[in-house]
Amino acid sequence: MQMESSKTFKDKKIALFALTPNSLAYAKKLKACFKNALLYPPDKLKSGGLRLLAKKTFKNCDALIFFSATGIAVRVVAPLLGAKNIDPAVVVVDDLARFAISLVSGHLGGANALAGEVAAIIGAVPVITTATDSRFLPCVEEIAAKTSSVIEDVKKIKVINSAILNGSAIFIIDRNRKRLSALKKTFGVGKGKVLFHFAKKLPARPSDSAVFVVITSSADYPVQRTLKTRTLMLRPREFSVGIGCKKGVSVKEVEKAVKAAFRVHGLSTLSIRNFATIDIKKTEQGILDYATKARLSIEFYGVAELNTKKPPSGVSQAALKNTGAFAVAEPSALLSSGAKRLWFKKIRTRNITLAAAKASFR
């Protein structure tokens, strides 16, 4: 599971592996601070238990913390690694709790931040080896976290972070004035001696060494062909998608409808922040499965709440008859986003109704 590196792990799901009796006391300290932590004591980790439990927790936990030698942790997680945008944070703590080492997913998974949290709790020294952190420089993952954005192509992280390390010019492009202002405040001139330029559009004649970070939900944002290899797209999580559907809709139908609606409006589905629907759909497997697949949350609203929002497309007689709500998709999107108007009104397929509203940047 993946998280934004700027967030704390206090409420996240963490697996703690205490390989020795001595480390168990420190692991218990962490469990007391991380309310959703799963603690596995030494007797559960013998005879192949460690590998089995690590494999089980790797995909459904936000972080794994090993109280062991670094080599043991490396051998256990190596076969499980997928990609930096989906792997959980992995931190290693030695038997005497002297060091908390960020091992995997330092930025995107938040292992660097977690190592700091762990160190503070048990009195250890955090060990961070990512190049930008070692030099007290910002990184593109921090820009993504600041704007609640998803990195579209993780392979280009290296392009941007290398430019930061080498002192090249980095252009941050965003048409959202509030977001751009927040970025200037955090990463402006003098912040780690990195030359950031902030603008609403790409420069007409940039230098050959300059790189670009474009923050946009537009799937068709125009980037010159010569700049594409040095341009990283950040997709801000800003759209709440309201969904209404017939009973028994499949996950494939939901996925197809969502992708089609966003394609029609020229939007990236990576900019979806969450889904929203009526509370009687809490067991609608197609919606639940797609939200899980997309790694997004669902908000549920009762009829009374939905009916506080007048549906822009008018009352849906089908929704009124079956649920008592004037509509589902449009009111859900408005309630969830906090927006006053829809970004796009409801779109119907055979079994699904969709609408989207954009949440303001805060």
- Predicted TM-score of the model (pTM): 0.81
CA atoms within 13 A on the CB side of 306: 29
Looking at residue 205, its pLDDT comes to 81
The structure tokens listed for 273 are 């922040």
Looking at residue 193, its pLDDT comes to 62
Average pLDDT value for residue range 255-276: 97
Q: What is the dihedral of CA 298, 303, 307, 311, to 10 degrees?
A: 50
Looking at residue 190, its pLDDT comes to 55
Backbone torsions φ then ψ of 295, nearest 5 degrees: 60, 45
Average pLDDT value for residue range 307-319: 93
- What's the CATH code, domain 14-129? 3.40.50.11220
Three-state DSSP at 243 gives strand
Q: What is the pLDDT of residues 118-143, one digit of tens each?
A: 999 999 999 999 888 878 788 899 89
Q: What is the pLDDT of residues 248-261, one digit of tens each?
A: 999 999 999 999 99
Cβ neighbours of 179 (radius 10 Å):
21
* Domain positions in the chain: 14-129, 140-236, 239-358
Average pLDDT value for residue range 178-186: 92
Looking at residue 2, its pLDDT comes to 39
How far is residue 315's CA from residue 48's CA, in Å, rounded to a whole number? 59
The structure tokens listed for 275 are 């889904």
Q: What is the pLDDT of residues 209-236, one digit of tens each?
A: 899 999 999 999 998 888 899 999 999 9
Between 26 and 4, where is the model more confident?
A: 26
- Of the pLDDT bands very low, low, confident and very high (cuts 50, 70, 90), residue 302 is very high
For the chain, percent of residues with pLDDT exceeding 70? 96
For the chain, percent of residues with pLDDT exceeding 90? 78
Average pLDDT score, the chain: 92
- Of the pLDDT bands very low, low, confident and very high (cuts 50, 70, 90), residue 84 is confident
Q: Give the class (CATH, top level) of 239-358.
A: alpha beta
The structure tokens listed for 119 are 């160190």
* Pairing outcome for strands 149-151 and 231-236: antiparallel
Average pLDDT value for residue range 53-61: 94
Three-state DSSP at 304 gives helix
- Of the pLDDT bands very low, low, confident and very high (cuts 50, 70, 90), residue 4 is very low
In this structure, are residues 243 and 329 in contact, taking their beta carbons and an 8 Å threshold?
A: yes
Cβ neighbours of 117 (radius 10 Å):
20
Between 188 and 338, where is the model more confident?
A: 338
Q: DSSP states of 71-136 as a string?
A: HHHHHHHGGG---TTTSPEEEEE-TTS-EEEEEE-SSSS-HHHHHHHHHHHHT-EEE---HHHHTT
